[in-house]
Structure 1
Amino acid sequence: MDETQRYQIGRRTSWMNIIGNVLLTALKAVVGYIAGSTAMVADAFHSGSDILATTIVLHGLKISHQPPDEGHHYGHGKAESIVSKLIAILLVITALGIGLSAYNSLRDPALEPPNKIAVWTALISILFKEWMYRYTVGIGKKIKSQALIADAWHHRTDAFSSVAALIGISGAIYGYPILDPIAGIVVAAMIIKAAVSIYLEAIHQLMDTAPAKEVMEDIKQTSLSVDGVRSVHDVKARKYGAEILVDMKICVDPLITVEEGHHLAGQAKHLVLEKIPDVKDVLIHVNPCSEKDYEKCNPCEHYKKG
């Protein structure tokens, strides 16, 4: 899948999420107001924040797929990690607003149970938001978009918040009106927990976290499979958005020409790009096989004679 296809799929998914969230937010807000449910109104604010979050994701995807330029020699892949951080911050702000509203309602001595229509709205929200989560996270994993996966978790927290709202609303209807604002506070806590996870993942991406050890070993073994590459050292890799950048050193016969060494490095690079998913580029430094490496590799006949 090329970068254009990846962007088009992410863009289409984001627009579907925006339209769905606009409809769901309007439904929750109207029903929450009519039914007098604090938890439902809080849930509506959460869905409303999804609209802004998905809009940010949409712009982040657009920026991340721009080609390298004079100011960004490696491209714009980290835009998705920045977007994930913004979504996490937005989630925290939303959660604080919901929690404050629920707390103020909790202090109100004249609590009234909400109308039963709020129950059906919460059920619709749970089903719809869970579907949106599964669809979006599936697309996010397919195109390896951290920002889209973060947005999917925004949908999942909205589904969880609707579950909490449903419990609170049902409890209030059956004689425990205090459960409605308590559910609002629970919703706020769940949102903050999800926000922290998303934020930490974005930080890891921005700090050039290495891929899994299995991926690193695959890179090394793939390079070693090239006939003429005697050993591989200092393999370093970092995630750059959905892709991986690799730096490494290879040791070759010290008596071959510079052109031959360059050819071996080219073979190793192309093989890694072909065999290892998500690797965008490989920078290889060629060293002569030194005496230190003599026992580690298979020295050539010329080196033995020397």
Structure 2
Amino acid sequence: MPASTISPADKDERMKQGEKGAWVSIAAYLFLSTLKLFVGHYASSKALFADGLNNATDIVASVAVLIGLRIARKPADADHRYGHRRAETIATFAAAFIMASVAVDVLWDGVRSLMRPVAVTPDPISMWVALFSAGVMIGVYSYNSKLGKAINSQALLATAADNRADVLVSLGAFVGIVGSLVFGWHWLDPVMALVVGLIIAKTAYEIFYEAAHALTDGYDEKELREIKQVIQGSEGVLQIRDLKARRHGSDVHVDAVIAVDGQLSVEESHRISDQIEQVLIAREEIEQVMIHVEPFTPTIGSSESQK
């Protein structure tokens, strides 16, 4: 089995780059959560205060991602023969749970605010703080999205998705405050707090689903079909008898059983499997490929896909 085309040193450097993205998020969230909680409380804006709570928990989620990326950099050892890359997925999983708990708290607070008979008009400063926060998070989202795609980091892309949701949350808070100040729609501010809670819940679910799917060895069917097409198109492959793939952090491990002409020598069969492995590993995400070769017999696995 050939080694990955990406060296361990390059992978370690990529993980370090991912940590930079987590630190950028932590710094932004520390500043914005402090600003929003302070202004939201004293300016009487439920939507802005809810947004501040969201950012406060985003700090914890970003720290979890940072820890996961740090652990994922550790090399394989006696207890972890495949390395520690799944720590990245576990960190993403933890971040989703944190976000979900905040969503419940924000939604409950928004419902209670709507049930109160006294209308409260937010201070105009809260409107500008919400708009400023949206602008900051657009920059953070752009940075983490580009970096996450460049280094193929599942955790950093999840962080970018959270950053994008935070842009919508801040814009929602801005709309609620404007409606309350300009049109006298006092109910709009707590309603937008509810919208904030729903956006947080939706983002948490999407991140949770992706992480849970990876941890349970789920794999995208479209990507698996693409891998299958590569193997089927390889010279000497007469049949694919089994094909599996799973994620290990941001890497992909592929296992396949192929059938070749039974008259081929061991060396010739090994050459076919080596060619397939080299082609698949050239795909940046795929870290490890295991190809098992069997002699082709038409009566065996007749229901399987054949070339």
TM-score range, shorter chain: 0.7 to 0.9
Q: Which runs of 5 or more residues in structure 2 are unaligned?
A: 1-5
How far residue 38 of structure 1 moved from its aligned partner, in angstroms, is: 1.7
Hey, what's the Cα distance between the residues in 1 that align with 2:38 and 2:93?
31
Equivalent position to 2:45, from 31, 37, 46: 37
Deviations 1:125-172 (A, max 9, x none): 111112212221221122222211111122222221112211221122
TM-superposed deviation, 1:260: 4.3
In the TM superposition, what whole-angstrom CA distance separates every residue of 1:246-297 from its partner, at most 9, and x where no partner exists? 11123334344434433443333233323x331111111121233548x999
Deviation at 1:116, TM superposition (A): 0.6
Q: In 2, distance between residues paired with 1:69 and 1:239? A: 19
TM normalised by structure 2 equals 0.86
For residues 1-306 of structure 1, the aligned pairs below 5 Å read 2-174=10-182, 175-213=184-222, 216-222=225-231, 224-226=233-235, 228-274=236-282, 276-292=283-299
Query: Which SS does the other structure have where 2:217 is aligned?
Result: coil
Deviations 1:8-50 (A, max 9, x none): 1101111111111111111112211221212211111111111
**2:259 & 2:169 partners in 1: Cα distance?**
56
Q: Which has the larger radius of gyration?
A: 1
TM-align CA RMSD: 2.5
Percent identity, aligned pairs only? 35
Are the equivalent residues in 2 in contact too, given 1:28–1:41 (CA < 8 A)? yes
Matching residue's letter, 1:75: G
Three-state SS of the structure 2 residue aligned to 1:130 is helix
Of residues 8-17 and 204-213 in structure 1, the stretch that sits farther from structure 2 once superposed is 204-213
What TM-score, normalized by structure 1, do the two folds share?
0.86
CA distance 1:104–1:65, shift in 2 (3 Å): same
- What CA distance in whole angstroms lies between the structure 1 residues aligned with 2:109 and 2:306? 68
Q: CA deviation at 1:90?
A: 0.8
Instruction: Please list every run of 5 or more consecutive structure 1 residues that lacks an aligned counterpart in the other structure.
Output: 299-306
Distance 2:237 2:107 in 1: 61
With a CA cutoff of 8 Å and minimum separation of 6, indicate the structure with the bigger relative contact order: 2
Preserved CA contact (<8 Å) 1:43 1:165: yes
- 1:247 is paired with a residue whose SS is strand
CA contact (8 A) 1:211 1:239 kept: no
| CA–CA distance in structure 2, aligned partners of residues 297 and 191 of structure 1 | 46
Q: Could you tell me which amino acid in structure 2 is paired with residue 69 of structure 1?
A: D
CA contact (8 A) 2:172 2:196 kept: yes
> CA offset at residue 120 of structure 1?
0.6
Q: Distance in 1 between matches of 2:103 and 2:256?
A: 45
Shift of residue 67, structure 1, vs aligned partner: 2.0
Q: Separation in 2 of the partners of 1:283 and 1:199?
A: 29
